[in-house]
Amino acid sequence: MEANENTRSLEAGIERDFSDKMSYGSYLALDELLSAQHPVSRPEHHDEMLFIIQHQTSELWLKLVLHELLAVRSRLQEDDLRSAMKGIARIKHIQRSLTEQWSVLATLTPSEYAQFRGDLGASSGFQSYQYRAVEFLLGNKNESMIAVFSADPQAQALLSGLLGETSIYDEFIRYLHRRGYAVDAALLQRDVRKAHVYDQSLLEVYKYVYENHEANWDVYEACEELVDLEDNFQLWRFRHLKTVERTIGMKRGTGGSSGAGFLRRALDLTFFPELYAVRAEIGR
Ligand code: HEM
Ligand SMILES: N[C@@H](CC(=O)c1ccccc1NC=O)C(=O)O
């Protein structure tokens, strides 16, 4: 039957009755997940579903990035660099997927978006607490961002908590110190509520690591993993900016910012400045 009818028959052993067993849908809470898309445009605009699902899938992946970053931070605290790097490898794949996904939203034309943009009110990705949590964990701390969440105590608590905790870069630096690399004491005691700023002693450490990479292989490899992470993050920011430019041009953002100009300035931020600065020092 199978070959000539081009149909696959169910095997006898295939489970059919889930009345008292966990099924695919119940395990994944699909009823909840798939009933969480609520277009607000009236009459409902066809393309709003794309807009909602693009954001929801991004938030799901951000949830996993956050989960993995917290694990990476713990593994660094436990001096388990190899396992921390395994976490970063996974995050890098998620980032690629997030960046690749912009091409789906890029099919939304300015005319289509304009038909429901007004219904979005003042809501904006600027109010994504998971995105801000990822930025904080990577070291881009900015206390003023928390004000956006004044109406969301849970988000505010999460971000206030992370603001006062170390970033994965702080933990990497502390790990380097424990391994005997000459990191300045001031850097180890810095105010973690502020963004990391360029440190000369760290540049010297990296210079040593890169010039003697054979003898410092695991640290050298970890440095390059962090550069990949930042590179991927910047690619996401860039694709966001370019999607914004092609859908709303130079309009102001619904969140109240100047729009594309504001997003472009994020491209000047860097999580790991010394890892970029060291490039200019190699082979001098
Ligand atoms: C047509 C699609 C999109 C447009 C036109 C757009 C536009 C903007 C604009 C103008 C801002 C600046 C804040 C404001 O004033 O609103 C912003 C911020 C932001 N958007 Fe979008 N966005 C789009 C899609 C997305 C998607 C799919 C995500 C994924 C989660 C996202 C996440 C963010 C985040 C996280 C910020 C804050 C960025 C930062 O702090 O640098 N946006 N967006
Ligand atoms: N800020 C966007 C609106 C927007 O993109 C948006 C609106 C609600 C929820 C998420 C959004 N995504 C990213 O900012 C705009 O100005 O058109």
Q: Report yes or no: 224 and 239 within 8 Å, Cβ to Cβ.
A: no
DSSP state, residue 203: H
SS3 108: coil
pLDDT score at 247: 97
Instruction: Find the helix packing angle between 129-138 and 168-178, rounded to 10°.
Output: 20
CA of 124 to the centre of ligand 2 (A): 4
Q: Which domains does the chain have, with CATH numbers?
A: 46-115+127-247+256-281 (1.20.58.480)
Residue 244: CB within 6 Å of ligand 1?
A: yes
CA of 140 to the centre of ligand 2 (A): 21
Local confidence band at 4 (pLDDT 50, 70, 90 cut-offs): confident
CA of 216 to the centre of ligand 2 (A): 45
Q: Is residue 16 over pLDDT 60?
A: yes
pLDDT score at 2: 58
- Residue 135: left if φ>0, alpha if ψ -120 to 50, beta else—which one? alpha
**Average pLDDT, integer, range 71-95:** 98
Q: Is residue 174 over pLDDT 80?
A: yes
Environment class of 278 (CB within 10 Å of its CB; exposed 0-12, middle 13-18, buried 19+): buried
Write the CB contacts of 170 (distance below 8 Å, at least 6 apart in sequence). Answer: 139, 190, 192, 196
Residue closest by Cα to atom 6 of ligand 2: 124
The verdict on whether residue 247 carries a ligand-binding annotation is: no
Local confidence band at 284 (pLDDT 50, 70, 90 cut-offs): confident
Environment class of 277 (CB within 10 Å of its CB; exposed 0-12, middle 13-18, buried 19+): middle
Prediction pTM value: 0.97
Residue 128: CB within 6 Å of ligand 2?
A: no
Measure the CA angle with vertex 127, ends 62 and 70; round to 5°: 35
Residue 262: CB within 6 Å of ligand 1?
A: yes
Q: Tell me: the pLDDT tens digits for 186-227?
A: 999 999 999 999 999 999 999 999 999 999 999 999 999 999
Residue 110: CB within 6 Å of ligand 1?
A: no
With CA atoms as reference, report the closest residue to 106 among 247, 224, 200: 247
Residue 253: CB within 6 Å of ligand 2?
A: yes
Residue 254: CB within 6 Å of ligand 1?
A: yes
CA of 196 to the centre of ligand 2 (A): 28
